[in-house]
Amino acid sequence: MPKELLQIMKEKAESVQAAVSQVHDLEDAFRYATELTLSKSVSGPVPNFGGGTIAAPGLSHNELNILQKQCDARGIHRLRPPLRIHMGDIHTAITFADWGIAETGTLVLDSTSEDIRICTMLAEIHVAILPISKIRPDVMSLEKELDALQKSAPRYLAFISGPSRTADIERVMTIGVHGPGELHILLTEENEL
């Protein structure tokens, strides 16, 4: 991947208030997410959940074990599916982005799973892991991949550019009203542990 494309992705994502960091692997990404959860969780213990909560739908068994060790070490409770019963308890959501669109700093997620939709819409903080190899210059570069996904309907694709924002109330920009107040994009070379 050209370095210019990676730089464009970072700049465009940051221009819409996403925090962008590069991590070595998934273990580093999980460490980032757990430390972020501790630093940003409400002052004092979260009712019923101690030092905060993380939901991470779509992870493999091995990935969940590594995340669980990081959560246990920091006193963070990992919420287990179905997440519908935890809708009001999700502090940090960890998801994998299917692609990144450099031109707009946008993440594309296959959100067909209800648990992924819940996480990306109801968490206070969304941490998205994006393999650098999945960054494309523009949305037209994803035409074949998106067409292939749509052939196995029904599908729900989310295009996410920065944290949730609205200016519905007296045209005053407000962050986090209709979704996460923070979006952290973790760029990684590796997608497996």
The string of DSSP codes covering 45-71 is PBTTTBT-EEE-TT--HHHHHHHHHHH
Structure tokens at 41: 């969780």
Q: pLDDT tens digits for 94-128?
A: 999 999 999 999 999 999 999 999 999 999 999 99
| Residue 43: exposure state from Cβ atoms within 10 A (0-12, 13-18, ≥19) | exposed
Helical packing angle, 61-74 and 26-40, nearest 10°: 40
Q: Which of 25-34, 54-63, 127-136, 164-173 has the lowest mean pLDDT?
A: 164-173
DSSP state of 106: E
Element (H, E) at 36: helix 26-40
Q: Which residue has the tokens 């993440």?
A: 107
For the segment 134-152, the average pLDDT, to the nearest whole number, is: 93
Average pLDDT over residues 1-22: 93
Class of domain 3-188: alpha beta
Q: What is the DSSP letter of 109?
A: E
Band of residue 164 on the pLDDT scale cut at 50, 70, 90: low
Give 50 or 75, the one with higher predicted confidence. Answer: 75
From edge to edge, which strands make up the β-sheet containing 77-79? 19-23, 182-188, 125-131, 92-96, 53-55, 77-79
Q: How far, in Å, CA of 47 to CA of 170, rounded? A: 34
Task: Note the pTM of the prediction, 2 decimals.
Answer: 0.89
187 vs 89: CA distance, rounded Å: 26
